[in-house]
Amino acid sequence: MQRRSFIHGAGAAAAALAAPRLFAQSWPNGPVRIIVGFPPGGGTDALGRVVAQKLTTIWGQQVIVENKAGVAGVLAADYVAQQPSDGSTLLMAHINSHALAPSLQPKLRYSVERDFVPIVLVGVTPNLLIASPTQKERTVKDIVALCKAQPGTVSFGSAGAGSAQHLALELFKLQARVNALHVPYKGSGPLLTDLMGGQIQYSFETMTAATPHVKSGRVLAIAQTRAKRAKGHPTVPTMQEEGFEGFEATTWYGLVGPGKLPSAIAQKVNADVNTVLAMPDVQERLDTYGAEDGGGTQEKFTQFIHTEIAKWARVVKEADVKVES
């Protein structure tokens, strides 16, 4: 009797261990949504659609990009945190929602560590300091001089208060010792429209979103904000080269799921996205956008997020950045 009970118990345990693996093998059995916290036309949307298109082919299921813009990506993150952890809804996480918001928004309704499962880093990009083609000041030195001559009036757009573009501007103001006018938008798309039209003067825009407009000549690239020049913009100097020692303000993107996402599904998505990122045509597009250093393990992405949260918390405190929640 005891032996029969032992065999039955061992069989049940084996079945329980196998269940997540079998579940992942049969997943996805329906459409998967990748939620993007910004309107179409921005960098997060562009990379989300590249990944979604390739995963649709790999999985034989439709992978849909759904835009839920607002609060610099926080609205989308809050939404995904409350979705079922069955793999049907993922988030294209962003520096705004997963590194900046924890220190900028004390009333944040989600916990980055508790309510999300990091899956894979998709890419890290510099921001590009870009100018409206109507601007005469087209070097960092000249922009600093303009800001000092017209304190508080030279306009810099961002994808929203508390966004990566906003924090890059605050870092610039801090290091250059200038005052400038921050103009927040609901995403990169409308920001770029106004910049091209001359309604605003400058922006530390994501390289992913800005690149097509730089290539077409509709906006002007002045500097980039990583310590090394991106492959896609080898002729654009870094802020460090322009005299801003240690100036590094990146934007990054990665897939995460709701907090109880089964590890087997997370591992499957990680493996398949790594496959996507290694594809030559995808790599070519990522290089063009300046998105580098993507891929790797879940653990790599988890540690990266922890490091970013700590880094930007220090910047927010030093610059005394306040964002209305």
pLDDT at 21 over 70: no
Q: Is the pLDDT of residue 281 over 80?
A: yes
- Count Cβ atoms below 10 Å from residue 318 Cβ, excluding itself: 11
Are 293 and 121 spatial neighbours (Cβ–Cβ below 8 Å)? yes
- Residue 3, pLDDT > 80, answer no
Q: Which residues of 71-86 are buried (b: 16+ CB within 10 A; e: fewer)?
A: bbbbbbbbbbbebeeb
Bond before 262 cis per omega within 30 degrees: no
- Write the secondary structure of 42-107 as one string of H (helix), E (strand) and C (coil): CHHHHHHHHHHHHHHHHHCCCEEEEECCCHHHHHHHHHHHCCCCCCCEEEEEEHHHHHHHHHHCCC
Nearest partner of 52 among 83, 44, 300, judged by Cα: 44
**Most confident residue range from 20-34, 159-173, 236-250:** 236-250
Label residues 181-218 b or e (16+ Cβ within 10 Å = b): bebbbbbbbbbbebbbeeebbbbbbbbbbbbebbeeeb
**How far is Cα 222 from Cα 130, in angstroms, rounded to an integer?**
6
CB 309 within 8 A of CB 103: yes
Bridge partners of residue 126, in order along the sequence: 250
CB atoms within 10 A of CB 98: 26
Task: Collapse the DSSP code of 120 into the 3-class scheme (helix H, G, I; strand E, B; otherwise coil) and give the result.
Answer: strand
For the chain, the 3-state helix, strand and coil shares in percent, each to the nearest 5, are 50, 20, 35
Confidence check: pLDDT of 4 > 80: no
Q: Are 105 and 325 in contact (CB under 8 A)?
A: yes
Q: Judge contact between 223 and 242, C-beta under 8 A.
A: yes
Q: Which of 3-7, 91-95, 249-253 has the lowest mean pLDDT?
A: 3-7
Mean local confidence (pLDDT), 292-307: 96
Nearest to 230 by CA among 96, 42, 43: 43
Which pLDDT score is estimated for 323? 83
Confidence of residue 11 (pLDDT cuts 50, 70, 90): low
> Tens digits of per-residue pLDDT, 108-126?
999 999 999 999 999 998 9
CA distances from 309 to 82, 92, 106, 185, 304 (A): 22, 17, 14, 23, 9
Q: Which tens digits make up the pLDDT trace of 207-252?
A: 888 999 999 999 999 999 999 999 889 999 999 999 999 999 999 9
For residue range 131-140, what is the model confidence (pLDDT) as tens digits?
Answer: 999 999 999 9
pTM value surpassing 0.75: yes
> Residues with Cβ < 8 Å from 17, sequence gap 6 or more?
none
Relative to beta strand 220-224, strand 116-131 is antiparallel
pLDDT band at 192; cut points 50, 70, 90: very high
CB-CB contact of 47 with 289 (8 Å):
yes
pLDDT at 232: 86
Same fold flag, 29-124+251-319 and 126-224: yes
- What is Dmax (Cα atoms) for the chain? 90
Domain ranges of the chain: 29-124+251-319, 126-224
pLDDT number for residue 14: 47
Which among 216, 214, 189 is positioned nearest to 44, based on CA atoms?
189
Model confidence pLDDT, tens digit, residues 31-79: 999 999 988 877 889 899 999 999 999 999 999 999 999 888 999 999 9
CA–CA distance, 237 with 253 (Å, rounded to integer): 23
Helix (H) or strand (E) holding 2: helix 2-26
Q: Which CATH superfamily is domain 126-224 in?
A: Periplasmic binding protein-like II (3.40.190.10)
Q: What fold is seen in the domain 29-124+251-319?
A: D-Maltodextrin-Binding Protein; domain 2 (3.40.190)
